[in-house]
Structure 1
Amino acid sequence: MTDDQTFLSVRGLSVRFRTEDGPVQAVENLSFDLTRGTTLGIVGESGSGKSVTSLSVLGLHDPARTTVEGSIMLDGTELVGASEAVLRGLRGRRMAMVFQDALTALSPYYSVGEQIAETYRRHTGGGRSRSRARAVELLGRVGIPSPERRVDDYPHQFSGGMRQRVMIAMALTCDPELLIADEPTTALDVTVQAQILELLAGLQAEFGTSIVLITHDLGVIAGCADDVLVMYAGRCVEHGPVEEVLTRPQHPYTAGLLRSVPRIRSDVDQPLLPVPGNPPSLLGGLPPGCSFRPRCDSPGLVGSGACGTERPELSGPDGHRAACHLTREQRGALTDLLPLTEI
């Protein structure tokens, strides 16, 4: 159920790739809503389906080898099955994406100013002088020093943090209402990460942008997101308000992610506790039962025999839901397994 404030609504999204080795079910039956002006954080290990989901929203999968099912509504417009002309009209103007690894996402053959200006010309029909002025304006807005001079520089002439700012500037060219940021702080220094996140928060406050923030860093989620969606093996295993999920997790996988976060305290000796094992292969589909069962290591919290035979569905009160066969009391005990310090 959506309301007037819901800008992005995803229902029953499933994405399957055709490969030489067989079908890969990358995302299965995923649903969530994003309210205007808020941030949804999506977390999970590599291969859990985070980026596949974001690319589905923008319609960037190759239709020759990808099957996308379900519904993706952007302010009332259905994106699944939409024509390329409709998607091109929405990309850049109403929805945009900050891709992983800005160095490979930016073309090395064109200056950063040309790449920003091209987006502006395509969507607004503005002339070259106006497009260049817009590029300079955006570079200044995202904190690039001397934008009038740097607009003619090439991506390799920028540091990693500055290239990430260029990517954000390009995504903001037409002031989109939806911004998807896919690992925007990966491989950046901590101080630069803070600057990038502060920039995104400031832009959201100024323009009321809805943001989907994809990251491995739970600290980033804790500081930036309103709601968080935890993905595992292509499915949502927990979803709810960020404070609820990070302080009272209802799924053993979420608790495992929280236990694996490094903490530095001289008065508490807490070893790093990684989630054991590896994520399952998505090739050919998952076996029956809970996909996290082989890695579940919550002491004394083993669920019923249904863990090995029935796929758990999302359930829980007050908008905080988890896909787990543990009882409500057992889920509550997961909090006792968390470290003593906060993220």
Structure 2
Amino acid sequence: MTSTEQQPFLSIKDLKVHFSTEDGIVKAVDGLSFDLVRGKTLGIVGESGSGKSVTNLTILGLHNPDSTKVEGSITLDGQELNGAPEKTLEKLRGNKMSMIFQDALTSLSPYHTIGKQIGETYRKHTGCSKQQARARAIEMLTRVGIPQPEVRVDDYPHQFSGGMRQRAMIAMALVCDPELLIADEPTTALDVTVQAQIMDLLKDLQREFGTAIIFITHDLGVIADIADDVLVMYGGRCVERGTKKEVLSNPQHPYTWGLLGSMPSLDHPVDVPLNPIPGAPPSLLNPPSGCRFHPRCAFTEKVEGGLCSSERPLLEIVDGRGSACHLTDEQRRDFFTDLAGSAAN
């Protein structure tokens, strides 16, 4: 594709993020690559400890350089971010790229009003006056659906409900009209109704501004609602990538099968038990050899030669679609068909 709109706005190439600890090196992200174009939403899904949040904090440069080794390339609109000076990253953070954190209550300062916290970011990047920053804060609170914004702008975070605090966080993240928005499980602590409102708000704002969004979650139901494309992470690596429809209706990796099997569905009878993935995510201090999912995978014995435990499966992406698994295409079709049939029955 040659149009400017379809060129990657964010490009991650072979990203590795390793932490030095007293116990050894934690390989939090270990060879991750993906692209994101403007106006699209990439959903990154996986269990806790899979490397989702670390990836996105690293994009923003929010890691400790004294204890973190970052390798690979992170380019935003053609500008390399890995190794960029802190002053460069400060100019980009909150301006060209921004983040909505999971817990708004702990992310907002209890000592300052909502309006001051929103306006502070705007003042830093525009150099405007306090009056202009306050007016901008009221405008953003209006945009995210806060009632009586000219009054609530002077409230403190504890005076807001959970849903309103999250809306205030979104207003803060969008106050400078960023071109990249990273949302780190922003609806996890909210009830279903408020969760749907927040997701509708993000979609409306994306249509208005053409923002590229990375949406981090462990919930495939949320992914089904908001994402255009999906990246499934496990043990610091991408194990599957594709469009939302491809990944949810025709998943290729046993880990994705496990995530879908452990999620309740309105299409299944209420008495059908869920099938949680056995075991626990791997230690990234001493990750398993070969495929990192193999200790928990029910299909390892189907692969000849013990490849699952000895050789890392390659992730070959063709037209945005691929998975890292030693199963053959025929085996994947057969096994997933059987699993889907068992769930339906």
Name the TM-score, length of structure 1 as normaliser: 0.95
1:169-193 CA-to-partner distances (Å, cap 9, x unmatched) read: 0000100000000001111000000
Shift of 1:339: 6.7
Shift of 1:20: 1.2
Shift of 1:330: 1.1
Equivalent residues of 1:270, 1:339 under 8 A apart: no
Equivalent residues of 2:101, 2:185 under 8 A apart: yes
What does residue 292 of structure 2 align with? 291
Shift of 1:335: 2.9
Shift of 1:316: 5.7
What does residue 27 of structure 1 align with? 29
| 1:316/1:6 CA distance change after superposition, 3 Å | closer
Equivalent residues of 1:304, 1:325 under 8 A apart: no
Q: Secondary structure at the match of 1:48?
A: coil
What does residue 128 of structure 2 align with? 126
Equivalent residues of 2:294, 2:300 under 8 A apart: no
Amino acid of the residue matched to residue 180 of structure 1? I
Give the whole-Å Cα distance in 2 for the aligned partners of 1:316 and 1:118: 42
Alignment root-mean-square deviation, CA: 1.9
Amino acid of the residue matched to residue 114 of structure 1? K
| 1:165/1:326 CA distance change after superposition, 3 Å | same
Which aligned pairs between 1:246-261 and structure 2 lie closer than 5 A? 246-261=248-263
1:250-307 CA-to-partner distances (Å, cap 9, x unmatched) read: 1000000000001246856421110111011001x42321111110024984464211
| 1:299/1:67 CA distance change after superposition, 3 Å | closer
What does residue 322 of structure 2 align with? 321
Which aligned pairs between 1:106-145 and structure 2 lie closer than 5 A? 106-145=108-147
Give the whole-Å Cα distance in 1 for the aligned partners of 2:155 and 2:335: 51
| 1:86/1:3 CA distance change after superposition, 3 Å | farther
| 1:139/1:296 CA distance change after superposition, 3 Å | same
What does residue 225 of structure 1 align with? 227
Shift of 1:159: 0.9
Give the whole-Å Cα distance in 2 for the aligned partners of 1:101 and 1:268: 32
Name the TM-score, length of structure 2 as normaliser: 0.95
Shift of 1:242: 1.1
Give the whole-Å Cα distance in 2 for the aligned partners of 1:156 and 1:316: 46
What does residue 148 of structure 2 align with? 146
Shift of 1:340: 7.8
Q: Secondary structure at the match of 1:213?
A: strand
Question: Which ranges in structure 2 are unaligned for 5 or more consecutive residues?
Answer: none
Which aligned pairs between 1:92-241 and structure 2 lie closer than 5 A? 92-241=94-243
Amino acid of the residue matched to residue 294 of structure 1? P
Equivalent residues of 2:303, 2:326 under 8 A apart: no
| 1:2/1:89 CA distance change after superposition, 3 Å | farther
Q: Secondary structure at the match of 2:19?
A: strand
Equivalent residues of 2:10, 2:36 under 8 A apart: yes
Name the structure with the higher helix share.
2
Q: For 1:82, which of 57, 65, 84 is the aligned residue?
A: 84
1:127-181 CA-to-partner distances (Å, cap 9, x unmatched) read: 0000000000001100111000000111111111111001000000100000000
| 1:340/1:177 CA distance change after superposition, 3 Å | farther
Count of paired positions: 341
Give the whole-Å Cα distance in 2 for the aligned partners of 1:221 and 1:339: 23
1:104-131 CA-to-partner distances (Å, cap 9, x unmatched) read: 0001110110000100000000100000
Amino acid of the residue matched to residue 271 of structure 1? P
Question: Which ranges in structure 1 are unaligned for 5 or more consecutive residues?
Answer: none
Q: Secondary structure at the match of 1:201?
A: helix
Give the whole-Å Cα distance in 1 for the aligned partners of 2:257 and 2:2: 29
